[in-house]
Amino acid sequence: MRQLNIGTDAYIITNSSLQALFNKNINKSLIKSGLTFYYKLVPDSEKSKSFSVAVRILTDLSAYGRNKRLFILALGGGVIGDLAGFVASIYRRGIPYVQIPTSLLAQVDSSIGGKTAVDLSRGKNLVGSFYQPKLVLSDVGLLRTLPLRQLKSALAEVIKYAVIADRELFIFLENNLSGILAGDKTCLEYIVARCAGIKAGIVSRDEKDKKGIRVILNFGHTLGHAIEAAGNFKVYNHGEAVGLGMLAACGISRRMSLLNENSCQRIEDLIKRAGIPMRIKGLDTKKIIAAQYHDKKFYGAVNKFVLLKGIGRSVVMNNVPLEIIKEVLRERV
Amino acid sequence: MRQLNIGTDAYIITNSSLQALFNKNINKSLIKSGLTFYYKLVPDSEKSKSFSVAVRILTDLSAYGRNKRLFILALGGGVIGDLAGFVASIYRRGIPYVQIPTSLLAQVDSSIGGKTAVDLSRGKNLVGSFYQPKLVLSDVGLLRTLPLRQLKSALAEVIKYAVIADRELFIFLENNLSGILAGDKTCLEYIVARCAGIKAGIVSRDEKDKKGIRVILNFGHTLGHAIEAAGNFKVYNHGEAVGLGMLAACGISRRMSLLNENSCQRIEDLIKRAGIPMRIKGLDTKKIIAAQYHDKKFYGAVNKFVLLKGIGRSVVMNNVPLEIIKEVLRERV
């Protein structure tokens, strides 16, 4: 951060648990580098990703920031990263920010690519910006504190990168899944670096999500978001819903004769071995389909799916027949 | 708008007076082009440029916008343009917007360049973004409803463009001032097009205000903002304060032997003939200097002034001696 010359005063947005875990090391390192710091704590829940919390932080920033060379440091998972990035993007028309993601999901996904957002009561991520962090500092040592359910659900995103763009990573996952689940540092470092590289590569070719390239990152997310929404974001977490969405997208790909039976089976097996749910429980498929039709990604089309032509090869299809969507969902209930 | 393919549904942000004046023509034109529209009215005051109004609009947009191909149409002066541009920049990470500026100040300045902003209680423009409109539609026919005080104060910005970058425009202003003040359409069209061209040229070389090019647009604004702030934004309007700031900047330029006596006199004469105040009345110079030191444009330096080397030739200087600033302010009291 010192080398990047992004400012002298770190405004750290985090929650109290993370502060308690990491503040000693962070403070020591910042002091050593001649940087000042200040902690702004937000509640440890999805509710922090709201417009009202953003306003509170902006008001606080405007009081604290006078005569300082501020930059924002987001210490947390996706919620804190998205919120902090949004605040950084609009305070004084943008000040530098740094991501220190503390969850595997944030390390492989949300901290990379500069999509920032907060929620409105009408829906998730309705307000936000495209704004790149100056630095993403991913340390897998921070992950030891994560519950296993979260670690496993992040694996859904890791598997996503492999199946859409990186056959080699897919084979690595097949061969090293137990090491990853046991928290082996070398394995985790490999997948974090590999996923960050894949995402950065895709995003750099389509930063504002306008060229139909970045959209492949939504593999599994079309129905995944609908499954999350149909369960009011309580039944399945993001990674689990994406896992179920990927299974459905594989099913659609196979039914549309894009993906062969063997590849489809290998993907299903990997998802199963990762301990990600294979069945949609307690949700009505009608509700999922209704939620899907409100997804902002269809804005202007009937629907849009990222499908597979093979492991590591993706394709975007518009207007998949509703009957096929219903079939693959019924198969998962 | 139809040709630009920016959407099918216009979300028009304006106030009730402007709606009453222009809605007939606008509705007819939009209907003819096959576009739908919806009016969102905001109060006719600087208070509309607040975070809370932005939140109300975003909430309304998220309810109204479902299944629509929305774009935002800002119909108004700088307050509405800045607010609407900010909302457009963050709703769904950015939707297209169009500026239809209804004041001379907005036509020559704020509608061009993509700086959007709202105020926080701690200060003006503390939250915002860089986000370009897809179209700026300036019709000088809309200006007939403007009070003379506003027209004259907008001339301060027009004079600014001339003195920093366009000697030819300066001579045009010297020769056609009475026509402009009388609202001559040909004169107004000439200066609006010329100023928009100058600003667009400068902004396109330094969109994010990071290269030290765009900063020359702040000529007269350094002390101008301080004069506005010292009067709690009640004593002088923006254009008047900028006029006073330009006089001070000319004074500094002359004292620093950058600008000759003759050019300085011509600038002063033009400002005087435009009916812009020449003296700072009822404000304490100490208060102005204190306000100046809180200007965000100094972020990281003691102070920064855009000064003149001649009519149409500007230069940026850091750390102008406080004694000189005090002298030129005292001269104007």
On chain B, the residues whose CB falls within 8 A of the CB of A90 are 86, 90, 127-129
The residue of chain A with its CA nearest to that of B67 is A299
Report the sign of the C-alpha dihedral through residues A12, A13, A19, A22, in that order.
Answer: negative
Q: Which of A55, A93, A128 is nearest residue B130 as measured by Cβ atoms?
A: A93
Flag whether residue A69 sits within 8 Å of chain B, measured between CB atoms. Answer: yes
Portions of chain A given CATH number 1.20.1090.10: 147-332
Residue A297: the pLDDT is 52
Q: Nearest CA to CA, how far is B88 from chain A (Å)?
A: 10
Q: Do B126 and A62 touch (CB under 8 A)?
A: yes
- Reference B220, options B264, B156, B134, B177; nearest CA is B156
Interface confidence (ipTM) of the complex: 0.87
Residue A301: the pLDDT is 59
Euclidean distance between CA atoms A86 and A54, whole angstroms: 8
The residue of chain B with its CA nearest to that of A208 is B93
Q: Do B300 and A120 touch (CB under 8 A)?
A: no
Please give the share of chain B, as a percent, with pLDDT higher than 70: 97
Chain A interface, best mutation among B127, B292, B303, by max A CB count within 10 A: B127
Q: Nearest CA to CA, how far is B58 from chain A (Å)?
A: 8
Q: Which of B69, B91, B115 is nearest residue A93 as measured by Cβ atoms?
A: B115
Query: What CATH code is assigned to A9-144?
Result: 3.40.50.1970
Flag whether residue A233 sits within 8 Å of chain B, measured between CB atoms. Answer: no
Euclidean distance between CA atoms A87 and A49, whole angstroms: 11
Which residue type sits at A283?
L
Query: In 10 A of CB A164, how many CB atoms?
Result: 25
Average pLDDT over residues B28-54: 94
Q: Do A63 and B122 touch (CB under 8 A)?
A: yes
Portions of chain B given CATH number 3.40.50.1970: 9-142
The residue of chain A with its CA nearest to that of B207 is A93
Euclidean distance between CA atoms B196 and B201, whole angstroms: 8
The residue of chain A with its CA nearest to that of B116 is A93
Q: Which of A62, A66, A123 is nearest residue B62 as measured by Cβ atoms?
A: A123
Q: How many CA atoms lie within 13 A of A209 on its CB side?
A: 18
Flag whether residue B319 sits within 8 Å of chain A, measured between CB atoms. Answer: no
Query: Please, which pLDDT band fits residue B259 given cuts at 50, 70 and 90?
Result: very high
On chain A, the residues whose CB falls within 8 A of the CB of B8 are none
Euclidean distance between CA atoms B333 and B329, whole angstroms: 7
- Reference B94, options B33, B6, B206; nearest CA is B6
Q: Which of A63, A66, A128 is nearest residue B93 as measured by Cβ atoms?
A: A128
Helix axes B221-230, B238-255, angle to 10 degrees: 130
Q: Do B122 and A59 touch (CB under 8 A)?
A: yes
Residue B307, φ and ψ in degrees, nearest 5: -120, 175
Flag whether residue A210 sits within 8 Å of chain B, measured between CB atoms. Answer: no
Residue B290: the pLDDT is 82
Q: Nearest CA to CA, how far is A300 from chain B (Å)?
A: 7
**What kind of architecture, by CATH, is found in domain B147-332?**
Up-down Bundle (1.20)
Q: Nearest CA to CA, how far is B208 from chain A (Å)?
A: 9
Flag whether residue B294 sits within 8 Å of chain A, measured between CB atoms. Answer: yes
For residue B297, pLDDT over 60 is answered with no
In terms of DSSP bridges, do strands B304-310 and B115-120 run parallel, antiparallel, or are they unpaired? Answer: unpaired
Query: Please, which pLDDT band fits residue B283 given cuts at 50, 70 and 90?
Result: confident
Residue A129: the pLDDT is 97
The residue of chain B with its CA nearest to that of A125 is B92
Q: Nearest CA to CA, how far is B301 from chain A (Å)?
A: 10
Flag whether residue A5 sits within 8 Å of chain B, measured between CB atoms. Answer: no
Q: Do B91 and A126 touch (CB under 8 A)?
A: yes
Average pLDDT over residues B105-123: 94
Q: Do B129 and A66 touch (CB under 8 A)?
A: no
Residue-wise pLDDT for B172-216, tens only, equals 999 999 999 998 999 999 999 999 999 999 999 999 999 989 999
Q: Nearest CA to CA, how far is B46 from chain A (Å)?
A: 18
**Domain B9-142 bears CATH identifier 3.20.20.70:** no
Euclidean distance between CA atoms B14 and A331, whole angstroms: 51
Flag whether residue B55 sits within 8 Å of chain A, measured between CB atoms. Answer: yes
Flag whether residue B324 sits within 8 Å of chain A, measured between CB atoms. Answer: no
Report the sign of the C-alpha dihedral through residues B11, B12, B13, B16, in that order.
Answer: negative
For residue B293, pLDDT over 80 is answered with no
Flag whether residue A317 sits within 8 Å of chain B, measured between CB atoms. Answer: no
Average pLDDT score over chain B: 92
For residue B296, pLDDT over 80 is answered with no
Residue-wise pLDDT tens for chain A (333 aa)? Answer: 999 999 999 999 999 999 999 999 999 999 999 999 999 999 988 899 999 899 999 999 999 988 899 999 999 999 999 999 999 999 999 999 999 999 999 999 999 999 999 999 888 899 999 999 999 999 999 987 778 888 888 999 999 999 999 999 999 999 999 999 998 999 999 999 999 999 999 999 999 999 989 999 999 998 998 898 888 888 898 889 999 999 999 999 999 999 999 999 999 999 999 999 999 988 888 888 888 776 555 555 578 899 999 999 999 998 899 899 999 999 888
CB pairs under 8 A between A and B: 81
Which residue type sits at B19?
Q
Q: Nearest CA to CA, how far is B95 from chain A (Å)?
A: 11
Task: Choose the weakest-confidence range: A199-203, A283-287, B167-171, B314-318.
Answer: A283-287
Q: Which of A69, A89, A122 is nearest residue B129 as measured by Cβ atoms?
A: A89
Q: Nearest CA to CA, how far is B304 from chain A (Å)?
A: 15
Residue-wise pLDDT for B54-98, tens only, equals 999 999 999 998 889 999 999 999 999 999 999 999 999 999 999
CA dist list (Å): B140 to A55, B32, B101, B106, B188: 37, 22, 9, 11, 7
On chain A, the residues whose CB falls within 8 A of the CB of B132 are none
